[in-house]
Structures are given as C-alpha cells and as structure tokens.
Amino acid sequence: MTDGRAPAELQKEDDGETQVSTKRHRGLLGSSCPCAPCNWRTKQVREAREVTTDRLGFKRQAARKSRYPAWSMPRQQNRFARSSCSSRGSHLARIAPARKPMSRKRRIVAWIAASGLAVLVGLALSAAWMMRPASLKRLVEDGLASQLNLDTSVEHISVQFLPRPRVSGKALTMRVRERPDLPPFISIGTFWVDVGLFSIMRRHVGTVHVDGLEIIVPPRQDGGQPAETASAGRKDYGVVVDHLVAHDAKLSFVRKRPDRLPLMFRIHELKVEDIGFDRPIPFYARLTNPIPEGIVETRGTFGPWRRDDGTQTALSGEYTFLNANLATINGIGGTLQSTGRYEGELTQIAAYGSTFTPDFSLELGGKPLPLSTTFHAVIDGTNGSTELVSVNAKLLNTPITTRGSITNLDGPGRHDLKLDVTIEAGRIEDILALAIDTPDPMLRGDLSLRSTFALPPGKTKVPQRLAMRGQFGLGAATFTDSQVQAKLQELSRRSQGKEKDEPMLRVLTNLTGQFTVDSGVLTLSRLSFSVPGATVRLAGTYGLDSGAIDFRGTLRMEAGMSDVVGGFKSIFLKPFNPLFRKDSAGTLLPIKITGTRKAPKMGIEMGKILKRGS
C-alpha cells in the first residue's frame, strides 16, 4: 500500500541513487491523477529503472526490493482503480514496468519456431485427412494398378491412431488385365503397417506385415509387346516399402493345359527389402520344394517389374537345397544336398550348381552308392519340368555325362525321365553294384557306354518301367569268382591248344555288344566275348527280375578240335577236325547258355554241327 506521498518525496528518499525527476515522472503519469494505483505504478517504474541502470554496468548500490510487489496491491485499491480512475485506459498502459527489448536473433528464432509449429500442425491435419480409409483405399488401388499394370482391389482398409498410427487391410487382389479366366496373380489375406506423420504424404512406409500371401503365376504369354518395366514413362516413387515380411505364403504355377493341376511351393518365410517399382528387389525365402521334397533357402533379387507381362520379370540369386528326399521320385532313393545359383524369369529359370547324394540307389536290387554331380539345367516354371542341358556326374569311381529332360506330370512323384547317358572311362563294378547287392562285384573292368535312358512314372517296379537302348564295351575285365576265372583260363588254354602243364597268364576278358532294356527284359545283340585264343558271340535275353538266361551263339577257337580236347582222345578226334573248322577258325562251335543267374547251364548245340556236316 502507498502512504500518500507524492512521487517527488519518494524521489528524495532514494539518496541520489537515481536521477528521475518529479517533472519527468509527471510527464509519464500526468499531473492531474491523484489515485492510489497511479502512485503505486510510479513506485514500480522507479524501481524498474534502478534495476535497469544497475544491469547496464554502473557500480552503484543494488536497488532495494520493491516495497510494493505486483501481487501486493490491496484488493480495495485494485477495485478503486477499476471503478474510479477515469484515465486508466490511457496512462496505466504507459506506466507498465520497462522490459529489456528482445534481440533480433531471438525474434528470428521465435518466428521460425512459430512458423514450424504452424507447418507441423498443417502437415498433421493434411496427414490425418489423407489417412482416411477411403483416401488410403484409393491410393493403394490406383498406385498398384498404375505401376504394375494389374487390376487391383482392396476389400477393406481401417486406420487406428492409438497406441500409434496403424493402417490395416484385408482381401487385396491383383489380376492380369483382360484375363478374367485366370485366378488372381497376387492375393493377400490381411496386411498391416505402422505409419508415421509423413509416411502417407511421401508414399513411403517402414515394415509391412502380410498374412495369406498367394502368388499364382499364369502361363507365359506368347509374343506381346517389347519389354516395358514399371518405371517406363511413369513417376519414380523410389523405395515405397522398406521391409515386407510374409508370415505364410504360397507360390503356384498355372499349367499351360487347363486340365493339369498347378505346381505349388509352400513358402515358410519370406522377407523382401527396399521394395520399389523401378529396381531389382532383394529378398530371402525359405520354402519346401515338392519334388524331390526338401527345404530350399534362397537369397536373390526380383525385378524391375515387367508391365507388359509380369511372368517375364527378371529373377536371380543363390540357393541351398537341403535334405531332399529322392524317394519322392518313384524308383529312386537317397538324400540329396545341392548348392548353386539361378537366373532368368519367373516362368523359365536357368540353374547352375552341384549336388551330392551319399546314398543314391535305384530300385533294381543293388546297394546305395555315393553320387556327385555338377549341372546346368533350365526349369520351366509353368509345369515344373526340367531340361538337363549338361550333367557331369560321378558314381563312386565312374564318371557319367548326361543330358535330357525330366517332365513333371500330375500327381506326386510322377516324373518322366528321358536321358542320354555316356560313360567313357568307367568301371563295370560300379554299375553292377546298382543292380546286384553282393559283398564283391562279380566282374571288374573298364567300361564304356552310350545309351538312352527312359523311366516313365508308374506304380510298378523300376525294371518293368525302365527302357534303355545303346552299346557298351568292357576292357581288361576279370571275374572275381575264382571258379569262373579258372574256367575262363582253362577255355583260353584249350583254345590255344596248350598243354595243362604250360604256364598261363591271368586272363583278361574283352566284352562288347548292343543292348536294349524293355519291360524288365535285357536283350543283347552282337555280344562279343573274348579271351586269349577264343571268341564268343552271343545274342539273347536276360530277365532283370527273374534272372532267366537264354543266349545262343558261337564259340570260335584258334586250335582244332583235337587240340582243344587234348590227351589220348585227340587221336580219335583228328579225323573230325574239318567238321568243326569253319571261316578260318580252328574250331567253331554253336553254343547256348540257359538256366538262371544263380544256376547257368552252358552246352553245345550238336544238331547245328551235324547239319553243317551234311
């Protein structure tokens, strides 16, 4: 409260600390206002000036605290000021305490802050407007349809703002234009994505989660327009989605023939990065390969998207094929591991890689053998068939070169194999081991072979379905059975007319011939079997399942019949030597081999000899 003293008296009381005069004070307040609020304001102005003077650096005694702080004016004086001071509207504003003027830098910062706040508010309002479900639905449909050239529709989109903004939707489908007969190219059951303030405005989001993703690749279109990517003549949106995570997905290929079932791959994990319409898109996938059944892990790139035909979009990457069960292909067994790379497009992929199967087997009664390969193959994505451009395999110690095709048919395990097989420097014991399970192979030697190989699908055993046609040769072959080898040595000794006590080297057998395999029967023609001093030519059949043998042919020996028999009996046979001599051979005998694999019988067809003599 004020004591009623005039401003001039208050000035004298300050002991010269300030030079504010009564005249100057009255010039500010006006000399005709005696009210208490005006006197109170006068005191506030004086003390504010003292503080200001001290802040300017004058070394004076600190200004004493105001005797009348702003909150200390009695309520009566405030009420008096509101009711009795007729000039308060004009001079009370002029006597407000002096404030330090705001610097230019602060004013600029304040303007920037205010402008930024206004911009943020405007952007927030714009984003909120654009995040209306109707706007988002139109944005998604129009954007995908324009960039991918697919008819796009979304059944429902919803937006929630708490605890953070999230956009979710369901039933997103994309179809090939003007092809209502085809199923949707891409369909998504549900999806959701957390968005920020600027995500919608700049058409860029972080991570999109997808459930129920299904990609059904239609058959490749014949002809068509030149290649046109998604960015051709269109706005470049750059990266639209940073990450896409599919929690459950399927990849199917529609066959060219409408009566054939689609080929389907189940994708257990799919992660796609930096999704854009005008660039290759990195991805990682883990899926199950149906035939042969196994897990495939792959990393690669997909794109840019082909607007004219999405099935021709570029695809490349590397893969690892783990624990593939070859038993899912009827007639073959083993567990395959493979690594390699691939390139091409969705409907036609070229693969380069290697495989290793430690326990490869055929349904022929043999035993498992290690098989390794390097290959170049082309996979037709529309039906799952594979063209084997070149395969270099090694079965135990036998190198094999193969080319051909593996046609995928309807139903599990239904594959039609057609191969051309070449063996240049193989081992016969490795091939026999696939068909005969014995501790030791019955024959060892060098093998050369050229053959066609066909294995159609079916429920019957492999020998009944296997079809082969070709020619083969054996060099420096020996039989592991000592009795068989002894008989061959005896045949060689007798054919050369040697005595029993003459030393004999180990007999090496040469065998050549042409063969066919059909309906479980091996047919041999022009089979030539030779040992030193003798040559056997045979033709006949051998049952792969039954083991039945029926071969007919000739035994040609260098020595005459009497020398072949030797000993005392040779004296009686010398007159008959001309009967057995023919075509410059010392002895030519018609022979037959019958019986079974376990009990073969060999004999001479005497009837043919007698006819020859007559």
Q: Is residue 535 part of a domain?
A: yes
> Per-residue pLDDT tens for 543-566?
877 888 898 888 887 777 666 666
Is 339 buried (19+), middle (13-18) or exposed (0-12) by CB count in 10 A? middle
Are 27 and 7 in contact, with CB atoms under 8 Å apart? no
Residues 79 and 167 in one domain: no
* pLDDT surpassing 50 at residue 59: no
Strand partners, 450: 422, 471
Phi, psi torsion values for 285, nearest 5 degrees: -145, 145
Residues 145 and 86 in one domain: no
Q: How many residues does the chain have?
A: 614
Q: Is residue 77 part of a domain?
A: yes
Residues 154 and 75 in one domain: no
Q: Is residue 516 part of a domain?
A: yes
Q: How much is the pLDDT for 296?
A: 94
Count of beta carbons in the 10 Å neighbourhood of residue 20: 19
Q: Is residue 353 part of a domain?
A: no
> Per-residue pLDDT tens for 350-359?
999 999 999 9
Count of beta carbons in the 10 Å neighbourhood of residue 52: 14
Q: How much is the pLDDT for 151?
A: 92
Residues 69 and 166 in one domain: no
Q: How much of the chain is helix, strand and coil, in % rounded to 5?
A: 25, 45, 35
Range of the domain at 504: 481-613
Listed in sequence order, the DSSP H helices in 69-132 are 75-84, 88-91, 104-130
* pLDDT surpassing 60 at residue 368: yes
Picking from 239, 262, 279, the residue at the C-terminal end of a domain is: 279
Strand partners, 419: 404, 453
Residues ≥6 apart with Cβ < 8 Å to 590:
552, 553, 554, 604, 605, 608, 609
Picking from 247, 279, 311, the residue at the C-terminal end of a domain is: 279
Q: Is residue 577 part of a domain?
A: yes
Q: Is residue 447 part of a domain?
A: no
* pLDDT surpassing 70 at residue 37: no
Domain count, the chain: 3
Are 292 and 334 in contact, with CB atoms under 8 Å apart? no
> Per-residue pLDDT tens for 477-494?
777 777 777 777 777 777
Residues 136 and 275 in one domain: yes
Are 226 and 263 in contact, with CB atoms under 8 Å apart? no
Residues 84 and 137 in one domain: no
Residues 490 and 538 in one domain: yes
Picking from 279, 300, 328, the residue at the C-terminal end of a domain is: 279
Residues 151 and 272 in one domain: yes
Is 170 buried (19+), middle (13-18) or exposed (0-12) by CB count in 10 A? middle
Q: How much is the pLDDT for 129?
A: 57
CA separation for the pair 169, 613 (Å, rounded): 97
Residues 167 and 70 in one domain: no
Q: What is the mean pLDDT of the chain?
A: 76
> Which one is predicted more confidently, 71 or 355?
355
Residues 159 and 273 in one domain: yes
Rg, C-alpha atoms of the chain: 50
Is 259 buried (19+), middle (13-18) or exposed (0-12) by CB count in 10 A? exposed
Mean pLDDT computed over 143-154 = 89
Q: Which of 121-125, 244-248, 604-608 has the lowest mean pLDDT?
A: 121-125
Q: Is residue 104 part of a domain?
A: no
Q: Is residue 326 part of a domain?
A: no
Instruction: Give the pLDDT band of residue 612 (cuts 50, 70, 90).
Output: low
